Chain A
Amino acid sequence: MTSTIETQPSASPAASGTPRTVRVAVIGTGFAGLGMAIALLRRGEDDLVLLERADDVGGTWRDNAYPGAACDVQSNLYSFSFAPNPDWPRSYSEQPEIQAYLQATADRYGVRDKCVFGAEVTGARWDDAAGQWAVTTTAGEFRATVLVSAAGALADPTYPDIPGLDSFAGTVMHSARWDAGHDLTGERVAVIGTGASAIQLVPAIQPRVDSLAVYQRTPPWIVPRTDHPVKPWVQRLYRWLPGFQKLVRAVLYVVRELLVVGMAKHRRFLRPVGRVARAHLARQVRDPRLREALTPDYTIGCKRILISNDYYPAVAAPNAELVTAGIAEVRPTSIVTRDGLERPTDTIVLATGFHVTDLPIAERIAGRDGRTLAEVWADGMVSNRSTTVAGFPNLFLLVGPNVGVGHTSMVYMIESQIAYVDDALQTMAAEGLAVLETTPEAQRAYRDLIAARSRGTVWLAGGCASWYLDRHGHNTTLWPDFTFRFRRMTRRLDRENYVGTPAADRSSEVAA
């Protein structure tokens, strides 16, 4: 590995024509990619490269820079366990602070030196003869013994299929691809979608636009946001007494985990949460018709529970309108709804979410038999412990299938997976294995476990269609149980579920 490559991405291996060979290649530099790299670097494993399509680290938190972007989980919990930050200015951080945290953490552990920016993975193919992944990127070719895909689930925006959207003469932008140079002041703005992004950006832009139309298909459940600035003396306390911050983190974790009881075990425990949400709506919206339009008809928790104190007042503001009629078409200067109303529009903001059940990265990774992950997953995403897939040796997925959580910190799940991958790599080293691959039996067992745990949960039985479920109605995205159970399952590599091939003799496979 030469330093020229790291400091000058333009001098890519492609220019020289020789692929760069590393032990571990990580796709993505968000929480997952950075965390993985840091885990490896901390134990001296430095033959690695991080492939990042953008020009900075941060992933989802770099890309989602729309006004009002913030995290729905307290920062004391939504951060790396090994890198506490005593200086969080608020209990719930906004996007710039989280992005700054990720940048600072990357710098602190020297991850940037391992990053190749502007390297979008266009394809990754398992070369069985060489026992390596051949990875092609927009910044050249790489060969890696181990490939870790940390590309994320909220990475690639979905664009709705609305007739005429292409013909719109004004600006169209996705919340995850916000154009900060476009001034919305005085414009007639349409926001399509009422999910987590929309309820954050609507109150942020409402005061400065001329008029705001929020196009809603299904209303979300919203509970109060208990956000507050962190007092300087508390920050000092965190600094002097790191154990205290750890304790706060643990309390937050436990309180949030209680939601799982209601969502995955006994739905009646969600009723008090529903009452809180209903009272929140009643307090903030007086207009009975608007209130009715904002009242969900499904069990709270079925879709992600959102937290906001300013979304309801924003849609009830004098210049705002909640449109529920459904969009029929977009015309060059307006949006037409199915009730025949045409609203002149200058800018359309698409807060329409991400490709979650159809991860684009899955189309680019081809395994042992040449089939892509997307092809293998055509009938639904399957894996062993959300991390490995049979037929894809030495591939590890972070934030893959059934690892998502809506109620607590995704970073907790990511760190669980990182420990698992790290243990797999150490096992390979200890046993002298060149190739490690999970078995179809293990995958089936894990799929059955997920299906059993998902049965009766609010996500399947709550009466809603959510992005948690794939097109067959199966839960392929969420971890349907307490998160500490996932951590326990991924603490160590389940060696019995893997077939290893020694480096010395790759022709004879070693089963556990």
Chain B
Amino acid sequence: MSVGTPTRQRRTAAVRTDDGALLHATVDGSDDAPVTLVLAHGWTLSQASWDDPVGLLVPRVAAGELRLVRYDQRGHGRSTWAPGDDDPAAVTIDRLGLDMGCVLDKLAPRGPVVVAGHSMGGMTIMCLAAARPELFGDRVRGALLVSTSAGDLAPEPRTPAEEVVRRLTPGLVTAALGGARVVERLRRLTPPSSRWHRRVVRGLLYGADATEEMVRAGAEIMHASTVRSFAVFYPALGGHDKRTELAALARVPVEVLVGSSDALTPVRHSRHLAEALPEAVLHVEPRTGHMLLQERPHLVLEALGRLLDAAVDRVAA
């Protein structure tokens, strides 16, 4: 390659949150780009879960049309926990919303922003909207919510068995954290290369069209996550409820994507979001599960393209 060949900038940044966690972020593209896209990933995943849509966005980045910020949520990927997270009960999805605010402040301090979140990353966006509504409108000009939920993931127990599970959950979390090393060792016995492992992952997260490569790639990302992130965020996800705090999101264009056979955040959660955000565009994709970023990267790309174009058009107007 010679001088003058088009290149795109990349930098790695560690964002320190106000409570002392260090978030690993990757920034692609020129600081002069007209819009910044910030991507938030889901539970037990990492920023790598966005790789397929990001790969499709490379031409936009290389053309200077887009600046791209990916980051690992606290306790995931390369990001650390905060000192206060030693108490698992203190970790909430609300905190992830504040983290995203820190990422915006540090890595996208100016100019229009579009945010996109998958699963827990979508909830992160709702929490940001609830905590810092003033950002939505002029700064954050669009949101993509993929395979996510506004709440009610752990409904009130209706049967005695569910009640038992609810009561046992905190103890199980503590036990999982205490025995994390043992659990880690057990996990190592069944790596993603094992067919049993992939069958479980496929059954839980993927739809009918998913290829073996997709399942393997997703399983590897999840396998890299810690027992701690699984255990600590499990109750936090149950506690997430922003069904009545979506007003700020209603001010900007929102697209909602969900797989028809999503078992983790079933379609009803996305339907509820579409009802709460009347302007939002809902798309239910057939033959897909929870991992839409991998299963339908082009679908994600098209939705992002519409939101990014709208955000830039408003600048021009």
Contacts and interface: CB of A to CB of B under 8 A. Distances in A.
B22 A319 contact: yes
Interface string B1-44: 11101111111111000000011111000000000000000000
Contacts of A334: 9
A344 B1 CA distance: 18
B46 interface: yes
A342 B225 CA distance: 29
Interface string B116-136: 000000000000000000000
Nearest to A345: B11
A318 interface: yes
Nearest to B16: A318
A343 B10 contact: yes
A358 interface: no
A503 interface: no
B1 A286 contact: no
Interface residues of A, number: 27
A342 B7 contact: yes
B220 A329 contact: no
A161 to B, nearest CB: 16
A5 interface: no
Interface in A258-314: 286-289
A340 B11 contact: no
B1 A328 contact: yes
B12 A211 contact: yes
A154 interface: no
A288 B14 contact: no
A317 interface: yes
Contact of B1 (A213, A288, A317, A340): A340
B226 A286 contact: yes
A387 to B, nearest CB: 47
Contacts of B11: 188, 211, 343-344
Contact of B223 (A288, A316, A342): A288
A321 interface: yes
Given A334-B9, A340-B6, A342-B8, A319 B14 contact: yes
A341 B226 contact: no
A200 B138 CA distance: 47
Interface in A316-350: 316-321, 328-329, 331, 334, 336, 338, 340-344
Q: How large is the interface on B (under 10, 10 to 19, 20 to 34, 35 or more residues)?
A: 20 to 34
B80 interface: yes
A265 B226 CA distance: 42
A210 interface: yes
Contact of B78 (A213, A317, A338, A343): A317
Contacts of A289: 48
Given A287-B46, A336-B1, A338-B1, A316 B78 contact: yes
B207 interface: no
Contacts of A329: 1-3
B24 A318 contact: yes
B214 to A, nearest CB: 15
B30 to A, nearest CB: 10
Contact of A210 (B9, B13, B77, B225): B13
B57 interface: no
Interface in B182-224: 220-221, 223-224
B8 to A, nearest CB: 6
A317 B23 CA distance: 10
B79 interface: yes
A344 B31 CA distance: 11
Contacts of B224: 286-288
- A interface secondary structure, majority: strand
B14 A211 contact: yes
Contacts of B6: 340
B82 interface: no
A213 B12 CA distance: 8
Given A286-B224, A318-B24, A318-B80, A342 B13 contact: no
B274 interface: no
Interface in B63-84: 72, 77-80
A54 B24 CA distance: 43
Contacts of A212: 12
Nearest to A316: B78
Contacts of B226: 286
A73 to B, nearest CB: 32
B7 A336 contact: yes
Contacts of B10: 341-343
A342 B48 CA distance: 20
Contact of B13 (A211, A286, A288, A328): A211
B110 to A, nearest CB: 18
A318 B7 contact: no
B62 interface: yes
Interface string A229-270: 000000000000000000000000000000000000000000
B7 A321 contact: no
Contacts of A213: 12
Nearest to A285: B224
Interface of A: 164, 188, 210-213, 286-289, 316-321, 328-329, 331, 334, 336, 338, 340-344
The 10 nearest A-B residue pairs measured at CB: A319-B14, A318-B24, A318-B14, A342-B7, A321-B12, A318-B22, A328-B1, A286-B224, A341-B10, A288-B220
19 contacts: A211-B11, A213-B12, A287-B77, A287-B224, A289-B48, A318-B72, A319-B12, A319-B24, A320-B12, A321-B12, A329-B1, A329-B3, A336-B7, A340-B6, A340-B8, A341-B10, A342-B8, A342-B9, A343-B10
Given A212-B12, A318-B72, A341-B10, 13 more contacts: A211-B11, A211-B12, A287-B48, A287-B77, A317-B14, A319-B24, A320-B12, A321-B12, A336-B1, A341-B7, A342-B8, A344-B9, A344-B11
